[in-house]
Amino acid sequence: MAKKDYTDEEKFNYIEEHMDNLGALSDEELMMFADFVDYGVERDWPCALMALGYGCYGGNEIYETDWETSKRCMLKLIELTDDPFCYNTLGYIYYYGRCNNGVPEYDKAFQYFAVGAAHGIYESRYKLADMFLTGKGALKSPSAAANMVMAMYNDNKELFCDESFESKFADIALRVGGFFERGDGVDQNDVAAYAYYKEAKLAIDKRVELFDFFGDRKVQKNIKASMDRVLKKLGNNFFQDKFTIDNPIFFAMLLKNSVGIDLDLHEDKDGRFVIRAKSVADDELSGKTIINIATIDYCELIDEAAFYLSDDVEFVENFVPPMKAFITGINYDEEADIWNFLYRDRIMISIKCSEFEFIPLKPSVKDNFEDTL
């Protein structure tokens, strides 16, 4: 079928079908796609305006970077569809002065980011936070910026733990780390900054592995530079050989995002008592959580965790290792100084233990877990 024989509906559908996958088209197909886009732009087809506008935003297989054309398409799309993502895109164009000889137009950027943020678009929300932080185009309020970013951090951490690796968690964790490193709107804390940077690295490495998003390699470099900078301030003696805590908090974290955990209490080959938890996922809960311990340089997305129990551990009543149980809750009897691991309201394992020493576990070796203990 010759190009001139294509109906409007077929041209429209061709644009929609291929606009997000131009790399799969031949040179001849790319030329046909460009012809259809030109035809559609003249008729104000939203799909054609998107293809041209986002194509010119940084360039792609067909279009060179052309910020004026991108801006014109975004403005037309807003007029036709009120698409919130177009407001976000225009915010970036104005923020970086891409149509003003590199001179930022912060007042306009704030207006468009505000609309994007009102629609819940994370890029708009954290750019607004940047503007509150610096006072560019907005009233300067570091605490408002910090509050905005922390709210986004909590939302995106949940998405990341649910294995939505395309999320903006890396970018937002990087910003949170910056707030703590500089003390903007929060108490300055280099240890907290490093911990957030570690989460940002975990997230960006996963995103780069699975996707090819514009600018991600630069984000990756910025995160590494931030980590290196803070480590210099923390000094050579910052890292410790082990991490101990007075409660099994990481088990509770696994429970939060799972239907329950399989608990295994046993003695290892060296005579140390070990308690291990592996989460059980379902269609809605991934069973994953981030365990982030800056002092031992550990930050992983995992579905299992383990502790060595301190030498003063006592096994209450008949709960003597080796034992296995499926549990749905944990509570602490403060009066008796006992940790109870529960299935609903029934105690499955009960111990008295003053310290829990975390056992670092890499996700890639979890199948050999038993061999490491």
pLDDT in tens, 12-39: 999 999 999 999 999 999 999 999 999 9
Whole-model pTM?
0.79
Distance between CA 61 and CA 328 in Å, rounded?
Answer: 52
What are residue 98's phi and psi, to 5 degrees?
-70, -15
On the question of pLDDT at 369 being above 50, the answer is no
Do 17 and 59 belong together in one domain? yes
Shortest CA distance to 70 belongs to which of 45, 100, 90? 90
* Structural domain includes residue 312: yes
Could you say which of 204, 234, 264 is where a domain stops?
234
On the question of pLDDT at 366 being above 60, the answer is no
On the question of pLDDT at 4 being above 90, the answer is no
What was the pLDDT predicted at 346? 95
* Structural domain includes residue 293: yes
Could you say which of 234, 255, 286 is where a domain stops?
234
* Structural domain includes residue 145: yes
Residue 251 near residue 277, CB atoms below 8 Å: yes
- Between 88 and 2, residue with greater pLDDT: 88
* Structural domain includes residue 239: no
- Residue 113, C-beta contacts closer than 8 angstroms, at least 6 positions apart: 87, 88, 91, 95, 124, 127, 128, 131
Could you say which of 214, 234, 254 is where a domain stops?
234
| Rounded average pLDDT over 114-118 | 96
Do 317 and 226 belong together in one domain? no
Do 77 and 17 belong together in one domain? yes
Task: Please state, rounded to an integer, the average pLDDT across all residues of the chain.
Answer: 94
| Rounded average pLDDT over 151-159 | 94
Query: Which two structure tokens, joined as six digits, stand for 32?
Result: 């046909």
The domain of 93 spans 3-234
On the question of pLDDT at 284 being above 50, the answer is yes
On the question of pLDDT at 365 being above 70, the answer is no
Provide the domain count of the chain.
Answer: 2
Do 210 and 265 belong together in one domain? no
| Rounded average pLDDT over 97-120 | 97
**Residue 162: pLDDT band by 50, 70, 90 thresholds?**
very high
Distance between CA 41 and CA 50 in Å, rounded?
Answer: 9
% the chain with pLDDT above 90: 91
- Residue 146, C-beta contacts closer than 8 angstroms, at least 6 positions apart: 129, 179, 184, 185, 186
**Is 89 in a helix, a strand, or coil?**
helix
| Rounded average pLDDT over 262-269 | 96
What was the pLDDT predicted at 5? 83
What was the pLDDT predicted at 212? 86
Do 264 and 198 belong together in one domain? no
* Structural domain includes residue 206: yes
What was the pLDDT predicted at 367? 40
DSSP annotation string for 173-241: HHHHHHHHHHTSSS---HHHHHHHHHHHHHHHHHHHHH---TTHHHHHHHHHHHHHHHHHHH-TT---S
Residue 212, domain CATH:
1.25.40.10
pLDDT in tens, 220-231: 999 999 999 999
- Between 151 and 372, residue with greater pLDDT: 151
- Residue 95, C-beta contacts closer than 8 angstroms, at least 6 positions apart: 104, 105, 106, 109, 113, 127
**Residue 317: pLDDT band by 50, 70, 90 thresholds?**
confident
